[in-house]
Amino acid sequence: MKIIGIDPGTAIVGVGVLEKKNGKLTVKNYQAITTPPIDKEKRLKIIFQKLNEILIQEKPEIVVVEELFFSKNVKTAISVGEARGVVLLASALNNIPVLELKPVEVKTIVTGYGHAPKSQVEYMITRLLGLKTPPKPDDVADALAIAYAGFLKMGGLL
Protein backbone atom coordinates (compact mmCIF):
# COMPACT_ATOMS: atom_id res chain seq x y z
CA MET A 1 0.00 0.00 0.00
CA LYS A 2 1.33 3.45 -0.92
CA ILE A 3 0.82 6.99 0.28
CA ILE A 4 2.15 10.09 -1.47
CA GLY A 5 2.86 13.33 0.37
CA ILE A 6 3.03 16.52 -1.65
CA ASP A 7 4.46 19.89 -0.68
CA PRO A 8 3.03 22.19 -3.36
CA GLY A 9 4.71 25.21 -4.89
CA THR A 10 5.20 26.66 -8.35
CA ALA A 11 9.01 26.59 -8.51
CA ILE A 12 9.42 23.33 -6.56
CA VAL A 13 6.90 20.64 -5.68
CA GLY A 14 8.17 18.11 -3.15
CA VAL A 15 6.94 14.56 -3.63
CA GLY A 16 7.46 11.74 -1.12
CA VAL A 17 6.23 8.18 -1.56
CA LEU A 18 5.92 5.85 1.42
CA GLU A 19 4.93 2.21 1.25
CA LYS A 20 3.72 -0.15 3.93
CA LYS A 21 4.76 -3.66 3.04
CA ASN A 22 4.85 -6.68 5.34
CA GLY A 23 3.99 -4.42 8.28
CA LYS A 24 6.93 -2.08 7.65
CA LEU A 25 6.78 1.54 6.46
CA THR A 26 9.54 2.35 3.96
CA VAL A 27 10.52 5.18 1.67
CA LYS A 28 9.75 4.10 -1.88
CA ASN A 29 10.68 7.27 -3.70
CA TYR A 30 11.14 10.98 -3.28
CA GLN A 31 11.82 13.75 -5.72
CA ALA A 32 11.34 17.40 -6.54
CA ILE A 33 9.31 18.57 -9.50
CA THR A 34 11.00 21.79 -10.57
CA THR A 35 9.88 24.40 -13.04
CA PRO A 36 11.89 27.12 -14.73
CA PRO A 37 10.96 30.77 -14.21
CA ILE A 38 8.44 30.96 -17.06
CA ASP A 39 4.77 31.90 -17.40
CA LYS A 40 2.65 30.63 -14.52
CA GLU A 41 0.35 28.67 -16.81
CA LYS A 42 3.30 26.77 -18.30
CA ARG A 43 4.68 26.04 -14.84
CA LEU A 44 1.33 24.63 -13.70
CA LYS A 45 1.17 22.50 -16.85
CA ILE A 46 4.63 21.04 -16.13
CA ILE A 47 3.64 20.30 -12.53
CA PHE A 48 0.44 18.61 -13.68
CA GLN A 49 2.17 16.48 -16.31
CA LYS A 50 5.00 15.32 -14.03
CA LEU A 51 2.72 14.71 -11.05
CA ASN A 52 0.26 12.81 -13.22
CA GLU A 53 3.12 10.57 -14.43
CA ILE A 54 4.14 9.89 -10.82
CA LEU A 55 0.57 9.06 -9.79
CA ILE A 56 0.14 6.68 -12.73
CA GLN A 57 3.48 5.00 -12.02
CA GLU A 58 3.16 4.72 -8.23
CA LYS A 59 -0.59 4.02 -7.98
CA PRO A 60 -0.99 5.29 -4.40
CA GLU A 61 -4.05 4.61 -2.28
CA ILE A 62 -4.07 8.20 -1.03
CA VAL A 63 -2.45 11.58 -1.64
CA VAL A 64 -1.72 13.81 1.35
CA VAL A 65 -1.24 17.53 0.80
CA GLU A 66 -0.87 20.45 3.17
CA GLU A 67 -3.73 22.89 3.53
CA LEU A 68 -2.94 26.40 2.43
CA PHE A 69 -1.39 28.57 5.12
CA PHE A 70 -0.06 32.09 4.86
CA SER A 71 0.54 34.91 7.23
CA LYS A 72 1.93 37.82 5.27
CA ASN A 73 2.76 37.08 1.64
CA VAL A 74 -0.54 36.93 -0.22
CA LYS A 75 1.16 36.62 -3.63
CA THR A 76 3.01 33.47 -2.52
CA ALA A 77 -0.18 32.07 -0.98
CA ILE A 78 -2.04 32.51 -4.26
CA SER A 79 0.63 30.72 -6.31
CA VAL A 80 0.81 27.87 -3.77
CA GLY A 81 -2.98 27.67 -3.90
CA GLU A 82 -2.85 27.33 -7.67
CA ALA A 83 -0.26 24.53 -7.36
CA ARG A 84 -2.49 22.83 -4.76
CA GLY A 85 -5.33 23.01 -7.30
CA VAL A 86 -3.16 21.13 -9.79
CA VAL A 87 -2.44 18.47 -7.13
CA LEU A 88 -6.14 18.10 -6.35
CA LEU A 89 -7.02 17.89 -10.04
CA ALA A 90 -4.35 15.27 -10.83
CA SER A 91 -5.50 13.22 -7.84
CA ALA A 92 -9.16 13.46 -8.85
CA LEU A 93 -8.44 12.50 -12.46
CA ASN A 94 -6.63 9.40 -11.17
CA ASN A 95 -9.45 8.60 -8.70
CA ILE A 96 -7.12 8.92 -5.71
CA PRO A 97 -8.59 10.30 -2.48
CA VAL A 98 -6.88 13.29 -0.90
CA LEU A 99 -6.20 13.96 2.77
CA GLU A 100 -5.45 17.58 3.63
CA LEU A 101 -3.43 18.41 6.74
CA LYS A 102 -2.60 21.74 8.33
CA PRO A 103 1.13 22.53 8.48
CA VAL A 104 0.91 22.67 12.29
CA GLU A 105 -0.54 19.12 12.32
CA VAL A 106 2.31 17.80 10.21
CA LYS A 107 4.92 19.45 12.44
CA THR A 108 3.23 18.24 15.61
CA ILE A 109 3.05 14.65 14.37
CA VAL A 110 6.64 14.60 13.09
CA THR A 111 8.42 16.67 15.76
CA GLY A 112 6.02 16.93 18.68
CA TYR A 113 5.95 20.72 18.29
CA GLY A 114 3.57 22.50 15.90
CA HIS A 115 5.86 25.46 15.33
CA ALA A 116 9.09 23.52 14.80
CA PRO A 117 11.54 25.03 12.31
CA LYS A 118 12.11 23.35 8.94
CA SER A 119 15.48 22.07 10.13
CA GLN A 120 13.81 20.12 12.95
CA VAL A 121 11.26 18.60 10.57
CA GLU A 122 14.09 17.59 8.23
CA TYR A 123 16.09 16.08 11.08
CA MET A 124 13.15 14.11 12.49
CA ILE A 125 11.89 12.77 9.17
CA THR A 126 15.41 11.59 8.34
CA ARG A 127 15.53 9.67 11.64
CA LEU A 128 11.92 8.42 11.60
CA LEU A 129 12.25 7.00 8.09
CA GLY A 130 15.78 5.64 8.59
CA LEU A 131 17.37 7.71 5.84
CA LYS A 132 21.16 8.04 5.73
CA THR A 133 21.06 11.70 4.75
CA PRO A 134 18.38 14.38 4.87
CA PRO A 135 16.33 14.60 1.66
CA LYS A 136 17.09 17.67 -0.41
CA PRO A 137 15.73 20.15 -1.22
CA ASP A 138 13.74 20.79 1.96
CA ASP A 139 10.51 20.66 -0.07
CA VAL A 140 11.15 16.92 -0.49
CA ALA A 141 11.76 16.48 3.25
CA ASP A 142 8.48 18.32 3.82
CA ALA A 143 6.69 16.00 1.36
CA LEU A 144 7.97 12.93 3.22
CA ALA A 145 6.88 14.52 6.51
CA ILE A 146 3.42 15.17 5.02
CA ALA A 147 3.15 11.55 3.86
CA TYR A 148 4.33 10.26 7.25
CA ALA A 149 1.89 12.51 9.14
CA GLY A 150 -0.92 11.41 6.84
CA PHE A 151 -0.05 7.77 7.46
CA LEU A 152 -0.17 8.26 11.23
CA LYS A 153 -3.27 10.48 11.07
CA MET A 154 -5.08 7.64 9.35
CA GLY A 155 -4.08 5.36 12.19
CA GLY A 156 -1.15 3.84 10.35
CA LEU A 157 -3.58 1.35 8.85
CA LEU A 158 -2.87 1.62 5.14
Per-residue pLDDT, 23: 83
Give this prediction's pTM: 0.94
CA dist 90 and 49 (Å) reads 9
Instruction: Give the confidence band of 70 by pLDDT, cuts at 50, 70, 90.
Output: low
Is the model more confident about 140 or about 156?
Answer: 140
Domain boundaries, the chain: 2-153
**17 with 144: CB under 8 angstroms?**
no
Average pLDDT for residues 53-69, to the nearest whole number? 94
Q: What are the residue numbers of the active site?
A: 7, 66, 139
| Homologous superfamily assigned to 2-153 | Ribonuclease H-like superfamily/Ribonuclease H (3.30.420.10)
Q: How far is CA 57 from CA 29, 75, 103, in A?
A: 11, 33, 27
Q: What's the pLDDT at 143?
A: 98
> Binding site for Mg(2+): what residues are annotated?
7, 66, 139
* pLDDT tens-digit readout, 111-128: 999 999 999 999 999 999
